[in-house]
Each structure stands twice: as C-alpha cells, then as structure tokens.
Structure 1
Amino acid sequence: MFKKRPDAKTIIAILLAITLAGSIVYSAMCLAMAPEAGADESVRVRSDYILMLSQCCLGLLVMFVPSVLQRRWTWPIPDFMHILYFIFLYCAIYLGEVRNFYYLVPNWDTWLHTFSGGMLGALGFVVVDQLNEVRGVPVKLGPKFIGIFALCFAMTVGALWEIYEFTFDGLLGLNMQKFRLENGVELVGRAALRDTMKDLIVDLVGALLVVGTGYIGARRKDKARREAERSR
C-alpha cells in the first residue's frame, strides 16, 4: 500500500518549523558576536538579535497552538486557517525580523497587522460556527452576534499582542513598539503612541473587512435555514 502523501498544511508547517529552527541557531550565533552599539544605523546590535531570537523561539512555540486547541476541544479548524496562520508567522518573524523586511519594505508591519486582523476575524467566525453545530445546544447564535463576537475576538488578540510588545520592550530593552528611533532617540507624546495606535487601527480595518463579508454570508445562511425549517 502507498503511504498517504502529506497535505499542504503539513508541508507548510514542516517548512516553517525548519525555517524558524534555523533562524534560532543563526540569531544565537550572531548574538554572541554582535556589538552593544553600532557605528551606524545599518549595523545590527545585541538588542536586535535578542529580539530576533525571542521572536523565533516564540514563533516555534505558537505555531502549534491551533493543533493543540483542536485536540483539546475537538473542534476542527479548517486547513485554510492553519495555512493562513503559518503564512503570517513566516512573514512576520522570518521575513520581518530575520530578513529585516520591517525596515526594507515600506509599510510591511501595517500590511501584516491588516492581514492578522482579517485572519483573526475569520477565526472568530469559525469558532462560533462550530458552536452552532454542537448537537444538544438549544441556542443558535445569530449573524449579528457572530459578527460582533468575531470583531471583538480579533481586536482582543490584537490588544494582547500590543501588551506583549510593551512588556518585552520594558523587560529586554527592545523596540517592538517603535517608541525609539534607530539612532536611540526616544519619541514623546503622540509620536511615541503612533505605532501602537496604527497597529490597532489597521487590525480593526482588516477585521471589519472580513467580518463584514462573513456577516453577509452568515445572514444568507441563516435566512436559508429558516426558510428550510418553515417548508418542513
């Protein structure tokens, strides 16, 4: 008998794990040799590699979260959600931190936050849809509730991410929230808040785009279900 060929989700997961593991080794080696301060802004220093190492380690851990949750609660998460999640981690950690796309590609961080907001909004719809399919539950959640839940879910995760960035900026002396310029000068007032607020706003934009589309689809599905029940 032929062995079952791995699906796209498995192949992408393996490639991501190998990439992140290799990046951990690379960033650890560079950290050991990096200077405390660079002669110019193009030179990466120890704090840059600390951020890179921490992000790669975190990425290698959180890439398994959907699979763990799926086994824990026996809720099937669609393969496309896994694939979107893996693509996001690759773009955010490997391309963003390791390959320095955050500085090389204009608005890379903005596009990633928009993408993640939409992805989390879609995940919110998946969660509620699974609840609606549970047998023995007398309550069926309507399209409006599903849309509100999905939007709140996406924004909550986005806010938790900003808390994570704020916390580790303070603990490790990092600059994930971009409150400090590359030359070390700290921003003040609205300028210091600009990156965080921009991230939350584009999270909202991405979530609204997906939630709005999902709401229309859920409303049509709910209407079709009601008509089918009346015709019985």
Structure 2
Amino acid sequence: MKKADRKSGRYRKTLREQVKENPRLAATYVILRVLVVLVLIAQIFNRNFENAFLCILTLILFTIPSFIERTIHIDVPDTLEIIILLFIFAAEILGEIQAYYVHFPYWDTMLHTLNGFLCAAIGFSLLDILNRRGSLAFQLSPLYLALVAFCFSMTIGVLWEFFECTMDQLFLLDMQKDTVVHSIGSVMLDPSGGNTPTAIQNITDVIVVTADGTQHSLGLGGYLDIGLLDTMKDLFVNFIGAVVFSIIGYFYVKNRGQGKFARRFIPQVLPPEEPSTKEK
C-alpha cells in the first residue's frame, strides 16, 4: 500500500491498526489517559470537583488531534501530536492540579515557549494548505507565510494574556503570577504631582492597610508586582517560540517540503477518499 493511501485511510483504521502503525503515539495516548483517569479518581475521592473537571477537560482536549483528522481530513504529524498531548498534560494535570507552576518557577515559561512554537505551526499550516490549493489564484511567498505564522502565534499569546487578566480581575485567580520586586519607580509617587518618576529602592517589606484600618505585613521580602512582569515574560518566550518555528517554516516552504525536520510539525491535507465499492 502506498504512503498516500495509508494516510488517506488513517481516520478509518481500527485501534489495532493505528497501534501497529504508530506505536509511540499510541503508547503516549494510553499512558497519558491512564494517568489522567487515575488523577480523576483521586480528585473525586478527595471531593475536589474543580480538579476533577480539569481532568475531564484534559481527556476531551486529548481527542482534538484525532477529531481534526477524522472530520477535516488533515493529517497531524505524529511528532506534533505527541507534543500537543504532552503540552495539554503538562499544563492541566502537572501545572494546575500538581501545582508545578508554583513548585517549578520555569514551568510556566517552558509551556509558553512551547505554546508560541505550536501556535506558529498551526497558523503556518492553515495558510500553507490554502496556498497549495490549485483553486486559489494567488501564491504566497515563504517570507509571507513565515510572517503570518509569527503574527498568528503572537495574537494567540496576547489573547491568552487578555483572558488571564480578565480572570484575575473578576475572580482574583492570580493566573498572571505575581512577582516580588525590590525597587519600583512611578510618577504617582512624585510629591509635586508632576510627571517625574520617583523611585523607591531596597524594598524589604510592604504593609497593606484595609478599609477597617487593619494592617497586614506581606512578609515577602519586597514589593508585590501584580502580574505585569509575568505577562511580559510570557509574551517574550512566546515570541521566541514563534520566531523559531517561523524560521523553520520559511525554509520548509522555500525548499517546498523537502525538509524532514519541519515536516514533523506541519499538518498536511489528506487525499480525498475513494468511494468504496460493494461486491455484488
């Protein structure tokens, strides 16, 4: 059977056939799903229904790549699919439920970098698929495709930061993780009321006074920045991930798909299925 025939029939294959053809992908699916189910059972026994919902959401998100292949007939490369599955597991199960975002300072940075890379791959593939359709009357240059991939990734990153900020303002969830800083500068501290920034250096503690006059010492060893530095760091590493894939995508299109490395991250349109004929 030809490679194209195998791809076109991929979404019709049985589970056993898929395991035989893609053992690494199948093993990843099974292991991650079993781990999520075990965590789900533990959260239900602990009556932590919010985390149980996250587990159910994770199981649903796991089905997205195969859903795309079956319904839109787009082949998601195995490498990209495994990365997507690991990304979902690392963000929802390890990051949120196991609190890796708190225990490992660079966990969120790693995921945002990977998110920039993945979103650039998705944006690039969407336009590259249209670019190669014979029905379109225009052809897009490799540089243009790379630029669109970069802009798509950064837009998704910005929209996610909008979402985090909204959740923090409405529900005080602290999705934009705070940062302890030891110096600040603001024009609001200008004693003359002008536009001259006034700095405070070597901050070791901050005392918060509530409306009833109660004083609370934060005891964090500095001033509490409310999410700004975390947001800028997330956008910066998203930028790095987007730039990396945009460069890969540029050379992929320039060489018209001959690069084996880039092909592992770029979805392809599956050939249309041939109608099945029944034996008389």
Does residue 142 in structure 1 map to residue 141 in structure 2?
Answer: yes
In structure 2, relative to structure 1, the CA distance for the partners of 1:164 and 1:9 (3 Å cut) is farther
Q: CA deviation at 1:142?
A: 1.5
Q: Using structure 2 for the length normalisation, give the TM-score.
A: 0.61
Q: Using structure 1 for the length normalisation, give the TM-score.
A: 0.72
In structure 2, relative to structure 1, the CA distance for the partners of 1:212 and 1:95 (3 Å cut) is same
Distance in 1 separating the partners of 2:174 and 2:103: 17
Does residue 202 in structure 1 map to residue 245 in structure 2?
Answer: no
Match of 1:4 in 2: 17
In structure 2, relative to structure 1, the CA distance for the partners of 1:163 and 1:61 (3 Å cut) is farther
Q: CA deviation at 1:143?
A: 0.8
Match of 1:14 in 2: 30
Match of 2:155 in 1: 156
Q: Output the amino acid matched with 1:153.
A: F
Assess if the C-alpha contact under 8 Å between 1:165 and 1:177 holds in 2: yes
Distance in 1 separating the partners of 2:52 and 2:229: 26
Q: Secondary structure at the match of 2:105?
A: coil
Q: Output the amino acid matched with 1:197.
A: M
Q: Secondary structure at the match of 2:120?
A: helix
* CA-to-aligned-CA distance 1:150-179 (integer Å, 9 cap, x gap): 112212222232233334445554222124
* CA-to-aligned-CA distance 1:159-214 (integer Å, 9 cap, x gap): 23223333444555422212488x996x9896431112211111111111121222
Query: Percent of aligned positions with the same letter in both sequences?
Result: 30
Distance in 2 separating the partners of 1:171 and 1:27: 26
More strand by share: 2
Does residue 219 in structure 1 map to residue 254 in structure 2?
Answer: yes
Distance in 1 separating the partners of 2:161 and 2:104: 21
Match of 1:27 in 2: 43
Q: CA deviation at 1:125?
A: 2.3
More helix by share: 1
Match of 1:58 in 2: 57
Distance in 2 separating the partners of 1:125 and 1:53: 34
Match of 1:228 in 2: none
CA RMSD of aligned residues (A): 3.2
Structure 2: tracts of 5 or more residues without a match: 1-15, 181-215, 258-280
Assess if the C-alpha contact under 8 Å between 2:112 and 2:237 holds in 1: yes
Distance in 1 separating the partners of 2:167 and 2:52: 13
Q: CA deviation at 1:12?
A: 1.6
Assess if the C-alpha contact under 8 Å between 1:77 and 1:126 holds in 2: no
Match of 2:187 in 1: none
Does residue 81 in structure 1 map to residue 80 in structure 2?
Answer: yes
Structure 1: tracts of 5 or more residues without a match: 33-48, 223-232
Q: Output the amino acid matched with 1:208.
A: V
* CA-to-aligned-CA distance 1:88-122 (integer Å, 9 cap, x gap): 11222222223332222231111111111112212
Distance in 1 separating the partners of 2:226 and 2:77: 40
Which stretch has the larger CA shift, 85-94 or 124-133? 124-133
Distance in 1 separating the partners of 2:53 and 2:167: 10
